Structures are given as C-alpha cells and as structure tokens.
Amino acid sequence: MFYIIRRLLLLVVTIALVSIITFAVFQILPGDPVRTMLGTEADETQIESLRNELGLNRPLHEQYVDWIKGLFTGDLGNSIRFSMPVSTLLMERLPVTLSVASMALIIVVLVALPLGIFVAKRQKKFSDVVLSSVTQLGMAIPSFWLGMILILYIGMNVDFFKISGYIPWSESIKGALSTLILPALTIAIPQIAVKFRYVRTSILEQMQLDYVRTIRSKGLPEKIVVYKHILKNALIPILTIFGLITAEVVAGTIIVEQVFALPGIGQLLITSISYRDFPLVQGIVMYITITVVFINFVVDILYSVIDPRIRLR
Amino acid sequence: MLKRKFWLTIVLVLVVLFISACSNADEGNTTGSKDEAEATAGAADQVQDIRVRVNDDPDFLDPHRATASISFQMILNMFEGLFIPQTDGSLTEGLADSYEVSEDGLTYTFSIRQGVTFHNGKPLTIDDVVYTFERLMGLNGGEKLSGNFDNLDSIDVLDDTTFVMTLKEANSNFLYSLTALQSAIVPQSNDGKHNDNPIGTGPFAFVNYSPGANLELKKNEDYWEDGLPYLDNVTFVFQSDDQAAVMNLIAGEVDVTGVPGHRVSEVEDSFNISHQNNNSTLIITFNQEKEPFNDVNVRQAINLSINKQDIIDSVFSGYATPIGSNMSPAMGDYYLDGLQDVYQRDVEKAKQLLAEAGYPDGFKTKITVSSHNDIYSSIGQIAVENLKEIGIDVEIEVVEWGIWLERVYFGRDYEMTTIDLTGRPSAYEILNDYISTNDAENFFLFDNEEFDQVMADVLKETEREKQIDYYHRAQEILNEESAAVYIADYQILWGSKQDISGLKSYPFWFHDMKEVKFD
C-alpha cells in the first residue's frame, strides 16, 4: 500500500514539473501566437484586438495561475488557434489517437512476444540470423516513409483501406478499421523489430541459468520449460520494455497522424506548437504526461504481481 | 494445457480478423462497381458532392476576423461583399446592384440588391450593411476589426435600398475594400455568433467545421443568381502533406488538390491539370536600411547574379512565370511587360557593380528563410551558390514560420530573406502593400520618394487609363531600384477529376465552387 501511495505522489510531482517546464519553454521560445495565426495579411488593429480578447496582454504569472486554477475545475481554457475550448478539441481527437495507439500496442505484443520466443529457441540457426538482419532494417526505416509505402502498395491497391481521414467507431466499425489499421501497422512494424530482440535476449539469459538446467534434467518437456518457467522469469525485463513502448507509440502517432491525415492528438500537437497555441499545447502535454506516467504506474504495480519480491523493497 | 489453449485462441482471433478483413475488401469492391454503374446510368443522377483538399485549417470562419489567405480560399464561398472580384482582377456588382461616385471622388451612393436572403432565411436589409461596417470599424461596442475604413467619414441611409458612404480623402481604390475579402456583408441577426455559426449570402452555407479534419458546406437553395450553384455539398478537407494529397487524389478520396510540379507526370493522364498564375510575387529581398543593401548598386549586383530560370526550373519544375516587379501578368493591362528581362544573369557586370559600390571582394551576409514550405530553403540554396560567384558569402538560417514572422516580417531584424507576397485583386494593393513607406507591411524597408508620390497620385486619379500609367511607372521604379530580386509568379497546379468542370482561377486564393459541377 505504501508503495502505491509513494508512486501516486511521484505521479503528481511529475505532472506539476512538466506543466511548469512547458510553460517556461513557451515563454522563452520566440514567436507570437497572434501574429503566427494571422500571418502576413494582418494589420496592427486586428493583432491588437485579438490579443486583448485572448488576454495575452496580461502578466505571465497571472496567465499561468489562471490556467492552473482552470485545471482544477476541469477547464483547460480556450485554444488560441481554433477559438474553441481545449477540452472539446481534446475529446474530439482522443478516440482517434487512443484507437491507433492501442491497436499498434496489440499488434506489437501479439507479434513481438511469440517471435522473440521462437527466435530464442532457434539461437544461431538460419532463421535467427535472417530475422536479426530483418530487424536492423526494421529499426532503420523512418515511420513517415513506411507510412507512405503502406499507402502506396496496400492502401491504394486494396479497396478496403482508406488512406486518409478517420471514420468514428460509432458510425461504422468497418470504416474505423479501414482508416486505422494502416497507421497502426506503421507504428507497430519498427517497434516489433526492436522489441522482439529484447524478448529474445531476455529469454536467452534465463535459458543459461541453473534452474533451467535442473528442470530440464528432471525430464520436463521443452514446451513446459519454455512457457511455464523461462517465460515467467523473463517477463520482468520484458514488461519494463513494453511500459516504455507506450511512450514511443504515443510519439509515433504524432508523425503517423500527419501522413494519414488522421485528426488525432499528435496532429493537434504539431499545429499547436507551430502556432504557439499555449493553452492547447499545455492541454495536450498534460494528456500525454498523464497517460505515460499512468501506464508506468500500472507497470510498476504489475511488477509486484509477477514478482512478489519487489513489494518488499 | 492452459497455455496451449491461450495460443490457440490468439491464432483463432487472428484468423477471424483476417477473414473478416478479406470479406470486407470484397464488399468494398462490389460497392465500388455499383457506384460506377450509377455514374454511367446518367449525368442527371450524378451526385454533386465535391471534396477539395486544402493545406490547413482556416484561422477564423468569421470573415471580419479571418486574415489568412487560406481561410478566404474556402469562406469566400459563403460570403459576399457589395462587390465581387473577378478572375481578371476587375470588380462587378455583388450585393450592391448599382453605384455612383461624385465628381470629387468623396461620395459613393450605393443601392443594394433586392431579393437576397441570408442563409438563416432573413432578407438582406440596409441595416445589415450598416451593421457590417460599424462592426468592422468597432463602432457598435466590439473591438475594431479592420483599419481599412479609417478613411470612411460617414455612412448615411437614404431609404430602404440606398445609402451613401462619404470618404475623408479621395481614394480610387476604395471599391476594392468593399469585396468579401475585406468587408463581407453579415446579418445583424447573427451578432455574436459569426465565428461559431457563420452566416452570409454566398452560394454555399455553413454546415460543420471539425478542426484539423474538414469544413463542410451545403448548397444555398435560395441563392440570388438563378440556377447557381450546381453542387449540393462541398467539403474542404485539411491535409498538410502535399505528397500524401496526390495519393489521395489518385485513390479518389479527394476530387481537387494542388499537385507539386514534379509529380504532374504521374497524374496528368488520368486527371485534369489546370495552371493558375496565382498572382503571388516570389522574391529574394534585403533589409534596405542596413549596409550594404542600402546601396542600389549592391541590390542590382545581387539581382544580376541570381539565376532566376534555375529557380523556376528546379523548385517549380518550370511552372512559373518570370516577373520584373511586384506585378504579375495575371493582372492584365495593369502589368508592364518586359521588366522580367532586365536583370538577365551577368556575373561580370555584377562584380563590376559590387566593386563600384566599394565591395570588390564581396562581403558576408545571412539569408533567413522560413521552414513552413521547403521552397524557401531550396531558393536560399540556389542564391547561396549564385552569390558565391561574385564573392558574397551567404549563410542560410532556417527558422519556423512563427519566428520568421516575428523576427523578419514584423521585427525587421534580418539581412536577406526569401518569401512570396500573396496576390490581391487590387493593383493598388499589390504595389502599395509591402513597399511604400506609408505601409506598415513594408518589411524590406524600401524607401523611394518618387514611388511614394506615384502611389499617392494614383489614388486621386479617377480615370482608369491614367491609373494604369501610374501603375506602370511604379513597376519601373521597383525594377530600376532593384527593390527586391523579383523571381517569378509561380503557378499552382490543380489536379482535378476529369468529369469536373467550372473551376476558375483568380488572381488571389479562392476555390470558387459557384459554377463547378460534375458532368
């Protein structure tokens, strides 16, 4: 219990720090939200009127304190760029990003785990060598390029897939899948390439330990040795890695949403940064921080479930 | 045993997913052929829905708040002004059906068009017109939204259909500030909701705006021009990536998109490609208050050393028209031909001019370019190579658009830069904005007395022929003074489905959907 409380406290401190740093960075960054939004055509009258309306002429600390106050009441303020509440914008886009990210995560787990075990069992055999070299390629491929290639060779040839935009699940499940599978694959493929190697290494390490030799000498079938004993012990490092993936998948959606014109959080983040839309950036950063910190929190709890020794520390 | 079941379940799930994906793909095929069958059944049944891709979201839907040209590209379909700009840069009557100007050019009498209704069903009245201008000038309680009407002394209503605008000083360009670009007529009944639920009198009415995704419009059934528009629904789809947009066109997910020059060959066989001189002015310019750019010899030397044709060929795949001043041939007889050939590349002469200016060995400088479009860095790189030949050592600095605006455009803290100046329907604005010393946007700090005088005189001139003479002289001055290295008016290439007709190109950014239809 104490462990969980300590973790929760850490979560709150992390979020507070991230919020202050984002705010500070935005004050240091050159670029003015109103001017960037209105562009070269704006005259001074328009710039001044918009700035007054948005309250950007107030002192910085006042703006920040107001924002924090809003946060506690669930009000994230209004986006400068879109003249709409940040929470509305986030809510509209959250389902898109969550769908892509969770689909990508599922694909990674479903492929990387079995693949890692398979390769570990065939150490130094031909298939191991082939897969390892394919991995190098997988890691080196930039995701925007992979996205383009998937659009070009799969999206444009198979009628089922849509290559841009998003159809909500509520409208049509088939439609949602047709817009989400390719982006999810784009994120998943490089992740699989990296992650199955972790699985392989982790399993190989366990294989060399004494207990494996003991159970083998007891005459247990190889399947039970691998899946019951080795896998269970190898799960701790694997879990850590899959905790980290969440952050990478969220980062991955930023680029992929751009390529597939998916109206998700990542696309919103890029727009909000280039327009210096501070309330919106804060809102998104908060969302990403909370997700990542929360997942890590869950992973930490899972450790203690898998390995009871961890609770004692 | 349990473990085996686990894996078995996963495999089963995967198989089911795969099969369902395949069967869905089959369904997709059948619906596709059904569409084709419908399409061949008869043009009368053709679905008149269009999807047009644009690069970015509008900044505002409220036409008085919007400033970005990309916004007007879309929202001009919803709004109209007293006058409507045409494809050749001229104006025709819009919501004003006739007007008279007094001898001294100070009093304008307008009568408004009868039988026009707003999208909310309310008829257009003179009160809405007065409300519009008072809103722009900040006279009815709100913030002042535009500086365009500072010269307007009063608006007086004569009767239900006529009103008079009185100016403080004569201004031959005044009518150009009465288009939907600067003063779209909006209904008083929609006060306070102009951005959330925009209402105008245009051929299309607002339906929905999803930030980052699309802007949906529908046909205005009561549009005052009989028989127009043809389309039932117009959706502007936002997609920033040009390369992905071309694939969307090929895959049939959008009907119209801009196509980068180097990808034209991939789509020209199966799509219509139309070229639009978009009337923008692509330039490399200098901060003319700083040494050595205050010396006309240095500016001319730079102009002579830059290979404009190289830029046109490599950055725009040849789809650009060379220019010699701010004006593009898209502006008809306002344009003065011949200036584009004055600064043909001549390295020897450039070196000689540099030596005369006191820089026989050249100098070091920096070109600041924005990263929001890669054409600017490409142009920068060509300029660096060209200028190296005459001894000028240029460093490229790439910055974000927001920083470019703050530092270069508004802050004027730069040495050289490259940018394109957005096209406008008015010849006066094209020449005056960005350049004359009385204009706040004069970011290259060009300062020439004769030029300012010409621009002041033209406003007092009411005869079009004489105005044209003034505009021609202004272009000559810009060219002689080498106010900037004028490179080209680059063309926007629109790829569209072959059964679409009625797309028009304007000397400013506007996707006019009024006469567009599927045949």
Would an 8 Å CB–CB cutoff place B411 in contact with chain A? no
Q: Are A301 and A26 in contact (CB under 8 A)?
A: no
Residues of B in contact with A52 (CB under 8 A): 143
Q: Which chain A residues are within 8 Å of B28, Cβ to Cβ?
A: 159-160
Sign of CA dihedral A302, A305, A307, A311: positive
pLDDT at B457 over 80: yes
- The letter for the amino acid at B253 is E
Cβ of B57 within 8 Å of Cβ of A93? The answer is: no
Residues in chain A: 313
Structure tokens at A188: 């998943």
Verify whether the Cβ–Cβ distance A259 to B244 is below 8 Å.
yes
**Tokens found for residue B260:** 């980068």
The DSSP annotation for B415-480 comes to SEEEEEEPP-S-HHHHHHTTTSTT-TT-TT----HHHHHHHHHHHH---HHHHHHHHHHHHHHHHH
Q: Is the peptide bond before B229 cis (omega within 30 degrees of 0)?
A: yes
Please classify residue B441 by burial: count the beta carbons closer than 10 Å to its beta carbon, then call 0-12 exposed, 13-18 middle and 19+ buried: middle
- pTM of structure: 0.79
Q: What is the mean pLDDT of residues B62-76?
A: 88
Question: Would an 8 Å CB–CB cutoff place B251 in contact with chain A?
Answer: yes
Cα separation of A26 and A280, whole Å? 12
Would you state the pLDDT for residue B23?
Answer: 40
Do the Cβ atoms of A83 and B24 come within 8 Å?
no
Question: B21 and A177: CB-CB below 8 Å?
Answer: yes
How many Å apart are CA A172 and CA A182, to the nearest integer?
17
Set of chain B residues whose Cβ sits within 8 Å of the Cβ of A177 = 21, 24
Are B336 and B384 found together in one domain? Answer: yes
Measured between CA atoms, the residue of chain A closest to residue B250 is A156
Closest CB to B147 among A45, A89, A92: A45
State the nearest Cα–Cα gap between A10 and chain B, in angstroms.
34
**Residue B447 domain-assigned (yes or no):** yes
Q: What is the mean pLDDT of residues B262-271?
A: 87
Q: Which of A39, A44, A260 sits opposite B68 (nearest CB)?
A: A39
d(CA B254, CA A164): 10
A279 close to A78: Cβ distance less than 8 angstroms:
yes
Question: B393 at the A interface (CB within 8 A)?
Answer: no
Whole-number Å distance between alpha carbons of B446 and B304: 19
Per-residue pLDDT of chain A (313 residues; tens, 9 = 90+): 677 788 788 878 888 888 888 888 877 777 778 877 777 777 777 788 788 877 777 777 887 888 788 877 778 888 888 888 888 888 888 888 888 988 998 898 888 888 888 888 776 777 777 877 778 888 888 888 888 888 888 888 887 888 777 888 888 888 888 888 999 999 888 888 888 888 888 888 888 888 888 888 888 887 888 777 887 778 777 777 777 777 788 778 888 888 888 888 888 888 888 888 888 888 888 888 888 888 877 887 787 777 777 665 4
pLDDT of B137 > 80? The answer is yes
Q: Does residue B313 sit in the same domain as residue B439?
A: yes
Residue B303: the pLDDT is: 92
Using a CB–CB cutoff of 8 Å, tell me whether A180 touches chain B. no
Pair (B169, B317) in one structural domain: no
Q: What is the pLDDT of residues B502-516, one digit of tens each?
A: 888 888 888 999 999
Residue in B27, B67, B403 nearest the CB of A39: B67
Given an 8 Å threshold on Cβ–Cβ distance, is B146 in contact with A37? Answer: no
Percent of chain B with pLDDT over 70: 91
The backbone region for A74, taken as left when phi is positive above 0, alpha when psi lies in -120 to 50, beta otherwise, is left
What would the two tokens of residue A163 be? 């290559």
Listed in order, strand segments (DSSP E) in chain A are none
Q: Which of A41, A166, A178 sits opposite B67 (nearest CB)?
A: A41
Of A37, A43, A158, the CB nearest to B25: A158
Nearest Cα neighbor of B148 from B32, B63, B237 is B63
- Backbone angles phi and psi of B164, in degrees to 5: -125, 135
pLDDT at B312: 92
Number of other CB atoms surrounding residue B430 within 10 Å: 31
CATH number of the domain residue B509 falls in = 3.40.190.10
Token pair belonging to B305: 């050393």
CA angle A32, A36, A39 (to 5 degrees): 135
Task: Find, in chain A, the residue whose alpha carbon is nearest to that of B22.
Answer: A160
d(CA B214, CA B58): 10
Residue B43 lies in a domain: no
Residue B503 sits in the same domain as residue B400:
no
Residue B112 counted as domain residue: yes
Mark yes or no for CB contact A261/B239 under 8 Å. Answer: yes
Q: What is the DSSP annotation of B106-120?
A: -EEEEEEPSS-B-TT
Selection from A101, A8, A2 nearest residue A297 by Cα: A8
Which residues in chain A touch residue B410, judged by CB atoms under 8 angstroms apart?
Answer: 35
Residue numbers in B near A84 (CB within 8 A): 211
Q: Give the separation between CA B199 and CA B70, rounded to whole angstroms.
A: 19
For residue B141, is it within any domain?
yes
Q: Do B213 and A174 touch (CB under 8 A)?
A: no
A221 and chain B in contact, CB less than 8 A:
no
Nearest CA among B474, B423, B449 for reference residue B279: B423
Q: Does residue B407 contact residue A30 with C-beta atoms inside 8 Å? A: yes
Quick check: B441 contacting A, CB < 8 Å? Answer: yes
Same domain, B301 and B402: yes
Write out chain B residues lying below 8 Å of A81, CB-based: 57, 59
Is the CB of residue B18 less than 8 Å away from at least one CB of chain A?
Answer: no
* Test mutation, A36, A156, A230, chain B, max B CBs within 10 A: A36
CB contact under 8 A, B68 and A259: no
Is residue B475 domain-shared with residue B373, that is, in the same domain? Answer: yes
Q: pLDDT tens for residues B342-393? A: 999 998 999 999 999 889 888 999 999 998 888 899 999 999 999 999 989 9
CATH of the domain at B341: 3.10.105.10
Interface of A with B in 183-202 (CB under 8 A): none
| Residue B96: inside a domain | yes
**Dist CA A271 CA B56 (whole Å):** 9
φ, ψ for residue A294 (rounded to 5)?
-65, -45
Q: What is the mean pLDDT of chain B?
A: 85
H or E, element range at B353: helix B347-356
Task: Tell me if A162 sits within 8 A of A179, measured CB to CB.
Answer: yes
User: Which residues lie below 8 Å from residue A257, measured CB to CB, with a gap of 6+?
Assistant: A96, A97, A100, A183, A263, A264, A265, A266, A267
B389-399: average pLDDT: 91
CB of B461 within 8 A of CB of B172?
yes
Residue B37 lies in a domain: no
In a shared domain, residues B408 and B476: yes
| CATH classification at residue B155 | 3.90.76.10
Nearest CA in chain A to B7: A114
Smallest Cβ distance to A227: which of B3, B243, B244? Answer: B3
Q: Tokens standing for A141?
A: 């491929």
B 157-196: CB under 8 A from A: 195
Give the DSSP H/E element, type plus range, for residue B366. Answer: strand B364-370
Which of A105-114, B159-168, B480-489 bottoms out in mean pLDDT, i.e. has the lowest? Answer: A105-114
Query: Which residues, in sequence order, are CB contacts of A139 under 8 Å at separation 6+?
Result: A190, A193, A194
pLDDT of A259: 83
For every residue of A190-259, DSSP letters joined together read HHHHHHHHHHHHHHHHHHTSHHHHHHHHTT--HHHIIIIIIHHHHHHHHHHHHHHHHHHHHHHHHHHHHH
Interchain contact A229–B (C-beta under 8 A): no
Indicate whether B426 and B504 sit together in one domain: no
Q: Which residue of B has its CA nearest to A113?
A: B7
Average pLDDT over residues B323-343: 89
Distance between CA atoms of B436 and B443, rounded to whole angstroms? 10
The whole-number average pLDDT for the span B51-70 is 88
Residue B398, chain A, CB below 8 Å: the answer is: no
Please identify, among B190, B221, B256, the residue that sits at the C-terminal boundary of a domain.
B190
Whether residue A45 and residue B145 make contact (CB cut-off 8 A), yes or no, is: yes
- Ordered by start, the domain boundaries in chain A are 19-72, 90-312
Positions of E strands within B177-304: 204-210, 214-219, 233-238, 256-258, 272-277, 281-286
The partner residues of B214 in beta bridges, in order of sequence, read B210, B237
- Residue A217 burial (C-beta neighbours within 10 Å; 0-12, 13-18, 19+): exposed
Residue B299: domain span = 281-491
Residue B422 contacts A, CB cutoff 8 Å: yes
* Together in a domain, B225 and B291: no
In the beta sheet, which residues pair with residue B518?
B500
Whether residue B10 lies inside any domain: the answer is no
Please check whether residue B38 lies inside any domain of the structure.
no
> What architecture does CATH give domain A90-312?
Orthogonal Bundle (1.10)
Query: Which value, in Å, is the radius of gyration of the alpha carbons in chain A?
Result: 24
Of B190, B223, B251, the residue that ends a domain is B190
| Contacts B250 to A, Cβ<8 Å | 156
Question: In this structure, is the dihedral angle defined by the CA atoms of residues B237, B242, B245 and B246, taken in order, positive or negative?
Answer: positive
**Closest partner residue to A258 among B65, B241, B251, by Cβ?**
B241
Any CB–CB contact under 8 A between B37 and chain A? no
- B-chain residue closest to A271, CA distance: B212
pLDDT, tens digit (0-9, with 9 covering 90-100), for B184-226: 999 999 888 888 899 999 999 999 998 888 999 999 999 998 8
